Structure 1
Amino acid sequence: MENKKLDGITLYTLEQKMIDKKFPENLIEELLVEFNKIINERGERGFQKCLVNLNYQVPEPYKSELNAEKMYGYYRKWIENEVVKLENETKLSWEEQTEDIEDLNIKARKTQLVLRHRISNVVLELLD
């Protein structure tokens, strides 16, 4: 990945894109805190590479079933709306889209589905 393209991935640009995509305000703040932790651990370039390499995977803190389920409790309405949008976009049921994580409970599966798609889409748009 070109360094020039990676330079477009900053906390500010991520925040702006998530606002544009109508992520819940508190979720944006929560994600930015987690992203900032990655920056502190890996540096700016490490953070950028981490996001570019997500490739429709869930960021680390949300891989936990318990964390994902808690997040569902906070953002249920948004997550359910996004699940419907993803089903329409992909023409696949949410169950089909989460077969790789079918061992998780429904709330965690839906949360992880939405997070991995929406965050990856934000990153891909920033790379264009």
Structure 2
Amino acid sequence: MKTQYIIYPAMVAMLSTACGKSNVNEQGIEAQNEMSTELNGDDTTMVKRDGTLLSGTLDEADSTRLPAPVINAIENDEVLSKSRIISTSSKIENSITVYEVEFELSDQSNKTVEFLENGNVRQ
């Protein structure tokens, strides 16, 4: 009878330590490290848990937020206001941010327009 008081707690202790919690914590830490790395602006791929890549999973239309002057310029343009934005991007040239916006026009053709920070179309 006394051996049951020793064996049962020992079995419970062995079972609780053998659950593999350390492996789960290591995987969680590894996943956090992957998520906290700096993103590349041109990278639109995501990695599934098994390591395979899913390309194009990020919507490129949301890749760059357009400032209010650029949005106003688009809304005030007769052709562009009726078009669908396919993608946006930004770049800095000579300390000026230039926003490149690709549109799908009503005739199904694409048109890329570059806007300056103030909403003016870049020539």
TM-score tier, shorter chain, comes to under 0.3
Q: Which of the pair is proportionally richer in strand?
A: 2
Identify which of structures 1 and 2 has the higher relative contact order when contacts are C-alpha pairs closer than 8 Å and 6+ apart.
Answer: 1
Q: TM-score normalised to the size of structure 2?
A: 0.22
Q: Which of the pair is proportionally richer in helix?
A: 1
**Which structure has the larger Rg?**
2
Q: TM-score normalised to the size of structure 1?
A: 0.22
